[in-house]
């Protein structure tokens, strides 16, 4: 929980029904005097359509997936709360107006090519961000944004430490959206085990999703073999986490 600069409000994360790690959270604000709690960002049950595409990745929001809030999450006037959140394979930062509940997607250093951009520190409209991708070790930029103009830059980002193009083994990367029927189709044909009679009536109703999931494709920097690259699969993901498209 984090108090607003004037000490009148406190912002905190909460969950509903499921309290396991990395579950989708709510962002709530408590008025310290009246003890009235307001949900600023609610649980998002399904991801935004086509969120994996580069053109949508900058503005999409699939819910709040974060374990804690920064000590400087509040703007100085107590109007906005800043946060990082995982969005599929990407990790991005955004901010929300606690009164209107509008979520702002700022301009990102990599634009459509964004992989991971998170907040290191912040002072007013200046934000120190870490930028990373499979072909870019963590780089540091200082950006100045217009908080009320959709996070547009007030000036060009200032490069503090840029390690772009310093990678050795990975040539390129992309995120691929995969329909759930690819994996869920065969699973539906399997016979489900019966629940013990002692548990009947006490189990939560199974919930499924038809939304696609993501796969990260990394292409090596070596020349392409005549018969193509061999494929190495690294299986990892939900329901409690996902692989992140970052430098490793």
pLDDT at 124: 92
DSSP string, 58-94: TT----B--S---TT-B-TTSSEEEEEEEETTEEEEE
Mean pLDDT by 10 residues, the chain (248 residues): 97 83 91 97 92 90 94 96 95 97 96 95 96 94 93 94 82 90 70 79 75 90 90 74 85
Q: How far apart are the C-alpha atoms of 9 and 29, rounded to whole Å?
A: 7
Task: Give pLDDT tens digits for 185-218.
Answer: 666 677 777 878 888 777 777 777 788 889 999 9
pLDDT at 18: 67
Task: Give pLDDT tens digits for 99-138.
Answer: 999 999 999 999 999 999 999 999 999 999 999 999 999 9
**What is the distance of C-alpha 205 from the center of its chain?**
27
pLDDT at 238: 60
Q: How far apart are the C-alpha atoms of 73 and 79, rounded to whole Å?
A: 11
């Amino acid at each position: 929980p984090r108090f607003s600069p004037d000490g009148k409000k406190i912002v905190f994360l909460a969950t509903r029904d499921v309290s396991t790690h990395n579950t989708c959270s709510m962002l709530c604000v408590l008025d310290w005097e009246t003890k009235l709690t307001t949900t600023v960002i609610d649980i998002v049950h399904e991801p935004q359509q086509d969120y994996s595409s580069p053109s949508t990745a900058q503005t999409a929001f699939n819910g709040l997936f974060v374990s804690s809030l920064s000590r400087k999450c509040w703007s100085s006037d107590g109007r906005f709360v800043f946060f990082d959140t995982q969005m599929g394979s990407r990790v991005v930062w955004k901010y929300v107006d606690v009164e209107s509940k509008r979520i702002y997607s700022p301009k990102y250093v990599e634009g459509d090519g964004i992989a991971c951009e998170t907040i290191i520190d912040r002072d007013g409209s200046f934000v120190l961000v870490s930028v990373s991708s499979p072909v870019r070790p963590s780089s540091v930029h200082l950006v100045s944004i217009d908080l009320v103009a959709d996070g547009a830059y007030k000036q060009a980002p200032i490069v503090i430490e840029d390690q772009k193009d310093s990678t050795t083994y990975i040539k390129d990367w992309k995120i691929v959206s995969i329909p759930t029927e690819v994996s869920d189709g065969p699973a539906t044909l399997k016979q489900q085990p019966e629940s013990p009679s002692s548990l009947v009536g006490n189990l939560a109703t199974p919930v499924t999703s038809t939304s696609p999931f993501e796969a990260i494709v990394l292409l090596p920097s070596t020349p392409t073999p005549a018969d193509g690259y061999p494929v190495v699969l690294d299986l990892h993901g939900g329901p409690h986490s996902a692989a992140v498209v970052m430098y490793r």
